[in-house]
């Protein structure tokens, strides 16, 4: 079953075409990556998948349903979003950030606390639970933003550049957790600039450039088809 399908998606910001007839599908349980340079349209596409912005034309379906006003609340209950920026509440503690977020999903406080504690353990942040988020390092903030997106136990996880700016150890820690989530059956969509990240985690990769998808395939097929490693393929395809 396909969890996300996009057909001929076009997005204009005023007269600027940010997405130019993009089509793709993402299967259940798959890890799918949009790989592309700055401004390729990755965030625009991700925001469309969770209903934050609408296409100018074309059709997008999530869990087989159109993202209209009627369907959106039900669809959002099953999606976890990890945005590019760590938009945490700076006035709250680590635990409070998770509990407040759980309210958007109508999760009762007792259940939210239990779930938040489990998630803090999942990324080894349990000892920082009562700390104000301002005091966390960049890597810790990223981990907190990551687990915040898991508070509703989503079926579909949307990760916008999950490891940008992280040191190699923190990056590896996030990669390990993404692999665990993948093996637990979640469908994962991520954007990245890192070839290694897409290659390591994802079943299929869409290479994007200037609002278009140039190719979609497995990392192995991409390397094979273009007789080179993925980095070479990417650099060749996205050349100015
Ligand atoms: P990055 O890797 O830098 O995050 P991206 O691939 O996610 O880039 P988008 O953020 O989707 O790219 O942006 C695609 C294009 O659309 C860029 O040229 C960007 O400047 C433009 N754009 C994005 N959002 C808006 C907006 N709200 N108004 C006008 N232009 C926008």
d(CA 225, CA 179): 26
Ligand 1 site, CB within 6 A? 13, 16, 18, 36, 38-44
Ligand 1 mean position, distance from CA 134 (Å): 28
Angle at 76 between CA 215 and CA 63, to 5 degrees: 50
What pLDDT is recorded for position 225?
76
**Inter-CA distances, 86 with 53, 179, 228, Å:** 19, 21, 35
pLDDT along the chain (240 residues), means of 10: 96 96 97 91 94 96 94 95 93 97 95 97 95 94 96 96 88 93 96 88 94 93 74 70
Query: How many Cβ atoms sit within 10 Å of the Cβ of residue 197?
Result: 23
What pLDDT is recorded for position 193?
84
pLDDT by residue (tens digit) across 88-110?
Answer: 999 999 999 999 999 999 999 99
Ligand 1 mean position, distance from CA 47 (Å): 11
* Closest residue by Cα to residue 69 from 83, 80, 81, 54: 54
* Residue minimizing CA distance to atom 1 of ligand 1: 38
Task: Kindly give the number of the ligand 1 atom that is closest to the alpha carbon of 11.
Answer: 16
DSSP for the chain, please give it: -EEEEEEEEEEEETTEEEEEEEEEEEETT-EEEEEE-TTSSHHHHHHHHTTSS--SEEEEEETTEE--TTTHHHHHHTEEEE-SS----TTSBHHHHHHHHHHTTT--HHHHHHHHHHHHHHTT-GGGTTSBGGGS-HHHHHHHHHHHTTTT--SEEEEESTTTT--HHHHHHHHHHHHHHHHTT-EEEEEES-HHHHHHH-SEEEEEETTEEEEEE-HHHHHHHTTS-HHHHHHHHT--
Ligand 1 mean position, distance from CA 44 (Å): 6
* Closest residue by Cα to residue 11 from 48, 63, 65: 48
Of 39, 42, 189, 191, best ligand 1 pocket probe by most atoms within 8 Å of the beta carbon: 39
What pLDDT is recorded for position 195?
82
What pLDDT is recorded for position 229?
64
State pTM to two decimals.
Answer: 0.92
Cβ atoms 153, 114 nearer than 8 A: no
Task: Kindly give the number of the ligand 1 atom that is closest to the alpha carbon of 44.
Answer: 11
């Amino acid at each position: 079953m396909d969890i996300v399908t996009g057909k001929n998606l076009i997005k204009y910001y005023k007269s600027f075409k940010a997405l130019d007839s993009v089509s793709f599908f993402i299967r259940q349980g798959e890890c799918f990556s949009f790989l592309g340079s700055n401004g390729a349209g990755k965030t625009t596409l991700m925001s469309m998948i969770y209903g934050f912005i609408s296409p100018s034309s074309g059709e997008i379906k999530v869990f087989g349903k159109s993202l209209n006003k009627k369907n959106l609340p039900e669809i959002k209950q099953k999606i976890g979003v990890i945005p590019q920026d760590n938009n945490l509440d700076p006035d709250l503690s680590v635990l409070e950030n998770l509990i407040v977020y759980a309210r958007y999903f109508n999760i009762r406080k007792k259940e939210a606390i239990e779930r938040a504690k489990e998630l803090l353990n999942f990324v080894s942040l349990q000892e920082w639970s009562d700390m104000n988020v301002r005091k966390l390092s960049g890597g810790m903030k990223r981990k907190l933003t990551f687990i915040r997106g898991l508070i509703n136990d989503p079926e579909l996880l949307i990760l916008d550049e999950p490891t940008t700016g992280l040191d190699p150890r923190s990056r590896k820690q996030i990669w390990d957790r993404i692999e665990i989530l993948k093996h637990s059956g979640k469908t994962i969509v991520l954007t990245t600039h890192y070839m290694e990240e897409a290659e390591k985690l994802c079943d299929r990769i869409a290479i994007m450039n200037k609002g278009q998808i140039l190719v979609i395939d497995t990392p192995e097929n991409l390397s094979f088809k273009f007789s080179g490693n993925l980095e070479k393929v990417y650099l060749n395809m996205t050349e100015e």
